[in-house]
Amino acid sequence: MNYPFHNNASSGVFKNASRLRKNLTPAEKYLWRLLRSRKLKGHKFRRQHPIGGYIVDFYCHAAGLIIEVDGKIHETTENKMYDDERTKILEANGLKVIRFSNDDVLRNTNLILARIYNELNTPS
């Protein structure tokens, strides 16, 4: 599979990604503990990973899967429009994007993990 990896990410994006990795939200920290070290059926994930000019919350390169964990700020009209446009661009580059709210990650963890696992095992 030939998906973009660090494709065209600037040094500023890499610095910002590093900063974000040090400041994960509680929901991101929780999900990262469940995904890291190939804990989800052997799939490798990266957190706060640069792709082009964007930083995605979690990325499985082998499956071309992006997982976004969204807080309340993503509920505003302006941020929803930005997220929709960003998703279209990432998907146009052959990636699959799935989104979960912070609350869902913390309260419906088993359903979230099942959905991620299904997406990992569904051909794109």
pLDDT per residue as tens digits for the range 47-64? 999 988 898 999 999 999
pTM recorded for the entire structure: 0.84
Backbone angles phi, psi at 93, to 5 degrees: -95, 20
Could you give the CA distance from residue 15 to residue 23 in angstroms, rounded to a whole number?
A: 13
Q: How far apart are CA 78 and CA 80, in angstroms?
A: 6
Instruction: Name all domains of the chain by residue range, CATH numbers in brackets.
Output: 11-120 (3.40.960.10)
Residue 67 near residue 98 (C-beta atoms within 8 A): yes
pLDDT, the chain, mean:
86
